[in-house]
A and B are shown apart, each in its own frame.
Chain A
Amino acid sequence: MAEGLGALLDPAAIRLAETAADREAAIRRCGEVLVSVGAVQPAYVDAMLEREKSVSTYVGEGVAIPHGTLAGKETVLRDALAVLRFPAGVDWGGDRPVRVCVAIAARGDGHVEVLGELAQILLDPDRAAALRAATDQDTVYDLLTPIEETA
């Protein structure tokens, strides 16, 4: 389970000091980062916006998980994640502003397990708070690749 999230996260796809005027701008930034690390074609960004119009990807704990529609899968080059932190927050229409976007590019259904892992991390209020407050890449990496209990 430990390899899941970390293996999909290119260090270049961790951006911790982003700003966005609104939800659409934030999603565009997420898409641009996925494009910049070679995970998706530019058309995937439109699929992400389409998905968000259909249903909010806000999951709670100040975290949203933007990703494309099924139709957008053809523009995914490889499974990948991007983590974008918006310290000033972005209004997502949820119970609180979004401070972290975990953007997802996925061809098959492997990302369901990835999302499961992410959700388990966010269900721990301490780790969710740490993710919202992370200011360096190593912290994000460590949070998303929990060390297996050896006991």
Chain B
Amino acid sequence: MPSRTVTVGSRTGLHARPAALFVAAAGSAPLPVKINVAGRKPVPANSMLSVLSLGAKCGTEVTITAEGDGADVVLDDLAALLARDLDAEEGGSDG
């Protein structure tokens, strides 16, 4: 199954705003996407609670998987999103 392993780039980790953006992107993908951290079972990437339950911090490696037509494109996009510091892009007041 196609997969990408990527290091979480958001400085506060994969929760709150970065998690919300990722979950929304995964939810709008044409394929079901799963995400996991090493040693834990994959969970649906379109569920906020599931993604939060990973407890992934900045620098944590996560793996996303998807299967079907276009899986590679979907995974590339989501991997790029995970690698970015999504906290840095917030309304100008943070940083």
Contact = CB atoms under 8 A, between A and B. Distances in A.
Contact of A60 (B15, B49, B91): B49
Which of A58, A119, A123 has the most B CB atoms < 10 Å from its CB?
A119
B17 A115 contact: no
A2 B49 CA distance: 19
A20 to B, nearest CB: 21
Contacts, number: 70
Nearest to A70: B94
Interface residues of B, number: 27
B65 to A, nearest CB: 19
A57 B95 CA distance: 20
Interface of B: 11-17, 20-21, 47-58, 87, 90-91, 93-95
15 contacts: A54-B90, A54-B91, A55-B17, A67-B16, A69-B94, A70-B11, A70-B90, A71-B95, A109-B11, A112-B13, A112-B14, A115-B15, A115-B55, A120-B53, A123-B53
Given A70-B11, A109-B57, A123-B50, 13 more contacts: A54-B90, A54-B91, A55-B16, A55-B17, A55-B20, A59-B49, A70-B95, A71-B93, A109-B11, A112-B56, A115-B55, A118-B52, A119-B51
